[in-house]
Structure 1
Amino acid sequence: MFDFLFRARPVKPGKVFGAPGDGNSGFISLVTTLLLLGLWFLVTEMGWVKPLFLPSPLAVYNKFIVAMTDGVANSTLIEHTLASLERVLGAFALACITAIPLGILMGVNTVVRGVLDPVIEFYRPLPPLAYLPLIIIWLGIGEFPKLFLIYLAIFAPMAISARAGVRSVSTEQIHAAYAMGASKFQVITQVILKAAMPEIFTGMRIGIGVGWTTLVAAEMVAAHRGLGFMVLNAAQFLASDTVIMGIIVIGAFAFAFDLLIRYLEKVLIPWKGKV
C-alpha cells in the first residue's frame, strides 16, 4: 500500500542502486510550507479562530514592520536579535572549543570518560529551567549566567556526539594505521578524528538547535533585550501577534544556522557516506 514511499528513484550516473531516502526533498518542503501558510490564511480569514489566539499572517507581518521601525519592548527587532545572537553564538562557540575536545578525549581515554560521563549523563536530561535557579544563586542575574545556561544546554549533546563519533570508528581502520607505522597521535588525528567528523557535525546541529530552545529560558531573568525576552514580554500583555512574530524570527535563525552547518559539513567532510 505504501510501496511508493520506498520505491527506488533514478540513480546518478555510475551508481547501480539508489539508497533509501536519496534525492532532493526541497520542492516537497516548499509545497508543504505554502500549504500551511494557506491554511493559516484560511483559518484566520474565515474567523474560525479569534485573533487573540491566532492573528492573521497580515497582522503578524504588520507587527514585524512595527518592530523593525518603532520597536517593541523598548528596543527594535534588530536590537533584540543582536542581543540573542550574541548569547547563542557565544555559548555555541564556547561549547565547540570545550565540548568537542572533551568528547574526543572521552572516546579515546577511559579515565576522562569515567570522570565526565556520569556528570554529563546526569544533567543532560534535565530541562534548563530546572537548574536555572541554581545558576542565578551562584552567578547572579548578569549577562554571563544567561550565556552559561545556554552553554550548558549545548555542551552535553556536542560532547556525547563527539564521543559517539570516536567510538564508532572501525577497529580495522585503526589496526591498519598502526600496521603502516602510524603513531598513536597520528591515529587519533588522521583516522579517529576524521571518521568522527560526521557525528561531531551532527552534534553541532543538535547543539545550535538546543541553544535557541534554551534562549527563552535564559532571557527570563533580568533581561532587557532579546528575542526570548520580547516574546515573554508580549505574552504578559496577550499580544499574540508579537509572540508569533518572535517565534517565527527565532525559528528562521535556527533553521538558517542549521542549513549553514549542513553546508559546512558537505564542504568539509566530502567523504561522509563513502567510507
Structure 2
Amino acid sequence: MLAKRLTQWLSGAVVPAAVLLLWQGVCSMGWVNEHVLPSPTAVVHKWVLYLLPLQTLEESGLPYWRWLLSGELLSDAAGSLYRVVVGFAVGAVLALPLGLLMGSSQRAYRMFNPITQVLRPIPPIAYIPLAILWFGLGNAPAIFLIAIGAFFPVLMNTIAGVRHVDGIYLRAARNLGAGQFTIFTRVILPAAVPYILTGVRIGIGTAFIVVIVAEMIAVNNGLGFRILEAREYFWSDKIIAGMVTIGLLGLAIDSAVNKLNNHLLRWHRGLEN
C-alpha cells in the first residue's frame, strides 16, 4: 500500500518538477526579465520571508508559538480561510434545503427555477458594488460574495441529485409500504448525496476564486489583498508566492473534501475498489 501511494505521488510530481526545472532554466539563462518572471528560487526565498515574522523572537518578546503564528503569510492565510469557510457555510446552508425542496417538489421547482436561472449566470464579481454599498468594507461584503459563489453549485447539484434518483428505487420503496417522508430520507437523500458532495467540492473551489477578488476590493488583509499590494510595488516574486499559497491551500482543502467524499460514499458502486 505504501509503495503504491509513493508511486502515485511520484508519477504526479513528474510534470510539476519538469515545469519548475524549465522555469528555473529559462530564468537562469536570462531569457526573461527577473522583475517580470522571477525564478522559482527567488519565489521560494520570498515565500519564506513572507512566512516568517518580521521581528526576531528576541525582539518580539513573545513565546515561540505566538511568534511563529505572527508571520504575515499565516495571518493572511488565516483571514482568507476564515472568509472561505464562513461564506461557503452560509451559501451551502441556504442552498441545500432549497435544492432538496426544488428537486423533490415540481411545484417548488416551477416557482423558484425562473429566478434561479436568471441569477445563476451573474458572476459574484458583478455584485461587488452592491456588496460594498450594502455592507461597507471588511469581512461582511467578502463573505456575502463568497456565499453567492458557493450557493449555486451546491443548489444545482442538489436539484440534479434529487431529480435523477432511479425510479426503480422509488417504486420499490412504495411497494414495500414506505411513506413519503421515509422515501425522502431513506431513498432520495442517500441517492442524492454523491451529487451534493460534488456540488460542495465545486462550491469550495468557487469560494476560493471569489475570496481573492473580494479581498482585492473590500478588505485590508488576506492573500488577495497581499497580492494586490505586491502588484502596486511590482513585487512579482511575492505575487507568485501568494498565488502558490492559494494553490496549496486549495489543494489541501480539496484533498480533505475528496477523502471525506470517499469515506461517506463507500457504499457507492463507483468507489467499491
Relative to the length of structure 1, the TM-score reads 0.86
User: Which of 60, 66, 79 is the aligned partner of 2:43?
Assistant: 60
The reply to whether residue 111 of structure 1 matches residue 69 of structure 2 is: no
How many angstroms apart in 2 are the aligned matches of 1:211 and 1:233? 21
User: Which of 93, 97, 101 is the aligned partner of 2:93?
Assistant: 97
Relative to the length of structure 2, the TM-score reads 0.86
How many angstroms apart in 1 are the aligned matches of 2:134 and 2:212? 20
User: Which of 9, 13, 17 is the aligned partner of 1:34?
Assistant: 17
- The answer (yes or no) to whether the contact 1:106–1:163 under 8 Å persists in 2 is yes
The reply to whether residue 164 of structure 1 matches residue 192 of structure 2 is: no
Per the alignment, residue 137 of structure 1 pairs with 133
Residues 211-270 of structure 1 deviation map (CA, whole Å, 9 limit, x = unaligned)? 000112211234121001111111111111011001011111111111111101110111
Per the alignment, residue 84 of structure 1 pairs with 80
How many angstroms apart in 2 are the aligned matches of 1:80 and 1:176? 53
User: How many angstroms does 1:75 deviate by?
Assistant: 6.7
The reply to whether residue 69 of structure 1 matches residue 52 of structure 2 is: yes
Secondary structure of the 1:219 match is helix
- The answer (yes or no) to whether the contact 1:151–1:211 under 8 Å persists in 2 is yes
Is there any run of 5+ residues in structure 2 with no aligned partner, and where? 1-6, 55-69
Residues 100-127 of structure 1 deviation map (CA, whole Å, 9 limit, x = unaligned)? 2211111001232223322332222222
Per the alignment, residue 150 of structure 1 pairs with 146
- The answer (yes or no) to whether the contact 1:219–1:226 under 8 Å persists in 2 is yes
- The answer (yes or no) to whether the contact 1:128–1:217 under 8 Å persists in 2 is no
How many angstroms apart in 1 are the aligned matches of 2:74 and 2:177? 55
Q: Give RMSD over aligned pairs.
A: 1.9
Secondary structure of the 1:271 match is coil
How many angstroms apart in 2 are the aligned matches of 1:120 and 1:57? 44
- The answer (yes or no) to whether the contact 1:84–1:215 under 8 Å persists in 2 is yes
- Identity across aligned pairs (percent)? 38
Residues 125-176 of structure 1 deviation map (CA, whole Å, 9 limit, x = unaligned)? 2222212111212222232111011110110011101111111110111111
Is there any run of 5+ residues in structure 1 with no aligned partner, and where? 1-23
User: Which of 170, 176, 179 is the aligned partner of 1:180?
Assistant: 176
Once the two structures are overlaid, the 10-residue window that deviates more, 256-265 or 129-138, is: 129-138
**Number of residue pairs matched by the alignment:** 250
User: Which of 33, 54, 64 is the aligned partner of 1:50?
Assistant: 33
How many angstroms apart in 1 are the aligned matches of 2:144 and 2:218? 15
How many angstroms apart in 2 are the aligned matches of 1:95 and 1:110? 23
- The answer (yes or no) to whether the contact 1:124–1:153 under 8 Å persists in 2 is no
Secondary structure of the 2:217 match is coil
- The answer (yes or no) to whether the contact 1:75–1:225 under 8 Å persists in 2 is no
User: Which of 257, 261, 272 is the aligned partner of 2:257?
Assistant: 261
Kindly indicate which of the two structures has a greater share of residues assigned to helix: 2
User: How many angstroms does 1:69 deviate by?
Assistant: 1.8
